[in-house]
Amino acid sequence: MATPAYTGKSTTSGDATVELELIDRERRMVERRIKAAKFPATKSLDSFDFRAIPSLNKMLVLELARCEWILRRENVIALGPSGTGKTHVALGLGLAACQKGLSVGFTTAAALVHELMEARDERRLLRLQKQLASHKLLIIDELGFVPLSKTGAELLFELISQRYERGSTLITSNLPFDEWTEVFGSERLTGALLDRLTHHVTILEMNGDSYRLGQSRSRTAKTNR
């Protein structure tokens, strides 16, 4: 029986090529998800200094980075004064979700309400609501910095109600829950909103000195050495 001629081709190298192509395709898909999320900056949890905010449960945040809470359609609310790193943590969890293949949207509360009101005036509210409801994770940053108008508060409530048990919402706020009425202007609306948000929720307490101020002082100290 004749011995097959050696072709010089290696199945191992062929497999490696296919693997590299798959890795490259996945990288491009992650990049597309990150771009679609409209993050103001790309920040990972690896660059967050957990020691600066002792009140924050590091193990809990790292558990959240596994994104199983998003698959369960649960929510996360990060509470704490300005500058304590709430946005950084939100961006880190958003990036982790993109890397896990999940669709993410990022916005501030003020920008979101403005966008919803504009869409309502231009008779494209249903289309925008459908788009926002489709995200596996919607991050709403800086709730509480600006009081909302009655219409704005109602539109935001409607959106969160639409996402209730259909998708995960991550909210950062500088106000404790008992002060949210000042933002929404109605105890009834605030109560109904919190009822939906906190039904399946993880709350991140981020009280402490300003994280940003601490980083700035650290950089200054290094420069002056």
What's the mean pLDDT in 204-213?
Answer: 72
- Is 219's pLDDT higher than 60? no
The C-alpha atoms of residue 7 and residue 142 are separated, in whole angstroms, by 63
Q: Show the tokens assigned to 54.
A: 């002792």
With a CB cutoff of 8 Å and minimum separation 6, the contacts of 106 are 37, 38, 39, 40, 90, 91, 94, 139, 141
Q: Show the tokens assigned to 207.
A: 């009280």
Query: Which pTM value belongs to this model?
Result: 0.85
Q: What's the mean per-residue pLDDT of the chain?
A: 89
Q: Which domains does the chain have, with CATH numbers?
A: 51-224 (3.40.50.300)
CA 1 to the chain's CA centroid: 65
pLDDT for 95-120, tens place per residue?
A: 999 999 999 999 999 999 999 999 99
> 109-125: string of b/e by CB count within 10 Å (b at 16+)?
bbebbeebbebbeeeeb
Strand segments, DSSP code E, in 32-135 are: 75-79, 104-108
